[in-house]
Amino acid sequence: MKGNFPIERFSGIETPFYYYDSELLRKTLNTINDEAGKHENFCVHYAVKANANPRVLNIICQAGLGADCVSGGEIEACIKAGFAPSKIVYAGVGKSDWEINLGLDHDIFCFNVESIAELEVINELAQAKGKVARVAFRINPNVGAHTHANITTGLAENKFGIAMDQMEEAIAEAERMENVSFVGLHFHIGSQILDMGDFEALCNRINELQDQLERHHIKVENINVGGGLGISYDHPNREPIPDFKSYFSTYATKLKLRPGQKLHFELGRAVVAQMGSLITRTLYVKQGTAKQFAIVDAGMTDLIRPALYQAYHKIENISSDLPCETYDVVGPICESSDVFAKAIDINKTRRGDLIALRSAGAYGEIMASQYNCRKLPKGYITEDL
Ligand code: LLP
């Protein structure tokens, strides 16, 4: 089974490009709203780092999600796309002064603070503007996730967040400062997580921390559990929409929210991965001594995930129904890691065929580079074609 592509509308478009299926994006957003809406006080933010294409951002904004930003550039992109600043959270270990000032000028909902040194700078910059910045502390929960080492973030040795044993000191520090106001705790354990047990482990840890804070009469208005819900890279056609039901109900049943407390989520990949494909063309088929190569016009500059994380993206020849043959699908970049897949079976390909690399809506276009002086790939949603 192959994906559904408006292939006749692809003919005039220069490859490689990203194609975003806006109908699937809208269905995914409806599912998120339905499933999260079953639980009181759940607020879903979209992690903009996954895909900041303006058309995509606009659809997500219209669905009512908030935004999770990690840079001034992302804050600007969200404001432009129509997100209300009161729904923007801003995280990141290294926020520059101009980025903090931008957040202050827009009165964003909250800064997710990752060190006491950063808290001091936010307090100073807010004071200079006569403002009070809302801050949440990102706590490193020391909870591992069963995912790729490069995308686990919640272990003690990661650079992210404040250690659990420094949490109370950080809160006390914020309470002493006049231009910051402590509004919550933030966590994130990693990405592409499919085992609900990992999220359950995070809930257990948060329950312990909340008990500890309650003993010291510290009130927390907001809990933010980050993102991380994974998708099926193996079966994008069978499983186009991730299991939001299990995800949200895990938090609803395992996390002990206090009365009035809001629970925030920052989902990136699960929102946008399956609606996107990188569309490329076969340039040449080269017969090697023991294998054959399909050399395509997209490379690791357009989609770096296979080279960087050994990630698998399903590949389909959407121009042909000829019997399958086995290929290494490779790009044109001068790097031996510029390989999308080795020894995969796709319909026999010839020069000019369109090839789709599936599940590429998240961390695809946004991670593209111009290495080798290449052009950045463009992204089109269905209505643009
Ligand atoms: N919140 C925080 C604090 C994060 O660091 C991240 C992702 C998210 C939310 C969204 O996570 P998601 O729901 O997308 O899993 N480039 C890598 C993924 C890096 C994720 C970084 N942080 C990849 O291509 O797999």
Atom 16 of ligand 1: nearest residue by CA position: 363
DSSP letters spanning 125-168: HHHHTT--EEEEEEEE-----SS-GGGB--STTSSSSEEGGGHH
Q: How far is the CA of 21 from the centre of ligand 1 (A)?
A: 21
Q: How far is the CA of 363 from the centre of ligand 1 (A)?
A: 9
pLDDT at 42: 98
Q: Would residue 354 be called left, alpha or beta, if left means φ above 0 and alpha means ψ between -120 and 50 degrees? A: beta
Q: How far is the CA of 193 from the centre of ligand 1 (A)?
A: 10
Which of 43, 49, 198, 369 gets mutated to test ligand 1 (max ligand atoms within 8 A of its CB)? 49
Q: How far is the CA of 191 from the centre of ligand 1 (A)?
A: 5
pLDDT at 1: 85
Q: Under a CB-based contact definition with an 8 Å cutoff, are residues 176 and 205 in contact?
A: no
Looking at the CA of residue 270, tell me the nearest atom of ligand 1. Answer: 13
The per-residue pLDDT string of the chain (385 residues; one tens digit each, 9 = 90 and over) reads 899 999 999 999 999 999 999 999 999 999 999 999 999 999 999 999 999 999 999 999 999 999 999 999 999 999 999 999 999 999 999 999 999 999 999 999 999 999 999 999 999 999 999 999 999 999 999 887 666 555 556 556 667 899 999 999 999 999 999 999 999 999 999 999 999 999 999 999 999 999 999 999 999 999 999 999 999 999 999 999 999 999 999 999 999 999 999 999 999 999 999 999 999 999 999 999 999 999 999 999 999 999 999 999 999 999 999 999 999 999 999 999 999 999 999 999 999 999 999 999 999 999 999 999 999 999 999 999 9
Q: How far is the CA of 74 from the centre of ligand 1 (A)?
A: 14
User: How many Å apart are CA 133 and CA 181, to the nearest integer?
Assistant: 6
CATH code that applies to domain 22-272: 3.20.20.10
Looking at the CA of residue 228, tell me the nearest atom of ligand 1. Answer: 15
pLDDT at 144: 74
Domain-by-domain residue ranges, the chain? 22-272, 276-384
Atom 8 of ligand 1: nearest residue by CA position: 227
pLDDT at 155: 59
Q: How far is the CA of 364 from the centre of ligand 1 (A)?
A: 12
Q: How far is the CA of 188 from the centre of ligand 1 (A)?
A: 9
Which of 191, 266, 271 gets mutated to test ligand 1 (max ligand atoms within 8 A of its CB)? 191
Q: Please count the other Cβ atoms lying within 10 Å of the Cβ belonging to residue 198.
A: 21
Q: Report whether CATH 2.40.37.10 matches the domain 276-384.
A: yes
User: b/e for 250-283, b at 16 or more Cβ within 10 A?
Assistant: bbbebbebeeebbbbbbbbbbbbbbbbbbbbbbb
User: What lines the ligand 1 site, CB under 6 Å?
Assistant: 47, 49-50, 68, 91, 151, 153, 188, 191-192, 226-229, 266-270, 305, 309, 363
pLDDT at 148: 58
Atom 19 of ligand 1: nearest residue by CA position: 151
pLDDT at 154: 56
pLDDT at 72: 98
pLDDT at 159: 79
